[in-house]
Amino acid sequence: EQAMLQARYEPDRMLVCKTRITPMGVDPADVMTAINEGQLSMWLQPILDVRRRNIVGAEALARWEHPEKGFVSPGVFIPVAEGSGMISHFTRWSINACLQQVSEARKLGLDFPIALNLSATAFAERGLVEQLLGGLKLWDVAPRDLVLEVTETAIVADVRRGANQLRQLNAAGVRVSIDDFGVGNASVSYLKEFPATEMKIDQSFVTGMLGDLRSLQIVKAMIVFAHQMGMRVVAEGVEDDATLEALGDLNCNLAQGWAIGKPKPAAEFLAELKAPAPG
Ligand code: C2E
Ligand code: MG
Ligand code: MG
Ligand code: MG
């Protein structure tokens, strides 16, 4: 719990919180300030094609650099934004920030999709579909270069409404990925209604799977299940090469985690991807 409350980032970057932040310590009004004063930025984390061993996409992860508190984790400030009605402003910011990076990537001659996380409450907001489709036009981004990461919780909150919006987006060519699969409160029945092309296995199953037989069996079964449903599988939280190897043996399509690359500021990430470091 304490660990969750502290924004702990890559030790090599030393982006450790200067003070301890509790959810209570983040004022909802600060979230608005963060948006308006440019304290938020989008970072990118690579997604690897397990068989071919090349980077085929990235996930956009929001970062908030608070002037006094240091880096505040999205795991802390997003729930605050959700609880305070600020979330629609944050969602608007995140759509724009993500599409800007897809557009930057293309300018650099990189052609790969970027995945955007949508809050569990995003589907309750009015005009989400219009915002997304409008954003694609504005940034001149092909719908296939945007992947929406949606959690079970978001879907289950209002299955019909959520599925409806996702169907519209899917019809426009935007792909949908189910994030943190297996840790929500959902029954799998929503998959009957839901146009997902990808399943992300939550890191809580993946990270320790080589040392825990039950985790390994769950990961195996989820991969088979996803493939049966015609979905690609992304394993999250791959922290070492042995786990990556094992996922390859299990026919997992894609992988994400520290063993492949940590999240980095978008500009830095894209520049490095364009000109890979020698060696
Ligand atoms: P998520 O979408 O499941 O993102 C994966 C989280 O796992 C990220 O934490 C990432 O930094 C972390 N991670 C990646 N590889 C590893 C690894 O190998 N080991 C471990 N232990 N962790 C790894 P982050 O960036 O702190 O984000 C936390 C959550 O906040 C995300 O979970 C997502 O639900 C939410 N979030 C982040 N950015 C946004 C955003 O722009 N919009 C919305 N709505 N939610 C966001
Ligand atoms: Mg995600
Ligand atoms: Mg996830
Ligand atoms: Mg997660």
239 Cβ below 6 A of ligand 1: yes
Residue whose CA lies nearest to ligand 1 atom number 22: 237
Q: Is 193 in the pocket of ligand 1 (CB under 6 A)?
A: no
Segment 57-93, tens digit of pLDDT: 999 999 999 888 889 999 999 999 998 888 999 999 9
Cα separation, 76 vs 119, whole angstroms:
13
Residue 11 predicted with pLDDT over 70: no
Atom of ligand 1 nearest to the CA of 256: 15
Per-residue model confidence (pLDDT) at position 65:
93
To the nearest 10 degrees (0 to 180), the angle between helices 128-138 and 87-107 is 30
Residue 115 alpha carbon to ligand 1 centre in Å: 11
Which pTM value belongs to this model? 0.91
In whole numbers, what is the pLDDT of the chain averaged over residues?
88
CA 227 to chain centre: 21
Predicted local confidence at residue 6, as pLDDT? 38
The reply to whether ipTM tops 0.85 is yes
The closest alpha carbon to 176, from 140, 202, 152, belongs to 152
Model confidence at 195, pLDDT cuts 50, 70, 90, reads confident
Residue 122's SS3 state is: helix
User: Which run of H or E residues covers position 178?
Assistant: strand 175-181
Sign (positive or negative) of CA dihedral 33, 104, 52, 13: negative
The pLDDT-based confidence of 115 (bands split at 50, 70, 90) is: very high
DSSP 8-state symbol, 277 = P
Non-local (6+) Cβ contacts of 22 within 8 A are 5
Q: How far is the CA of 117 from the centre of ligand 1 (A)?
A: 9
184 CB neighbour count, 10 Å cutoff: 18
Mean per-residue pLDDT, 227-252: 97
- Residue of 17 and 130 predicted with greater confidence: 130
Q: Is the CB of 101 under 6 A from ligand 1?
A: no
19 has pLDDT over 60: no
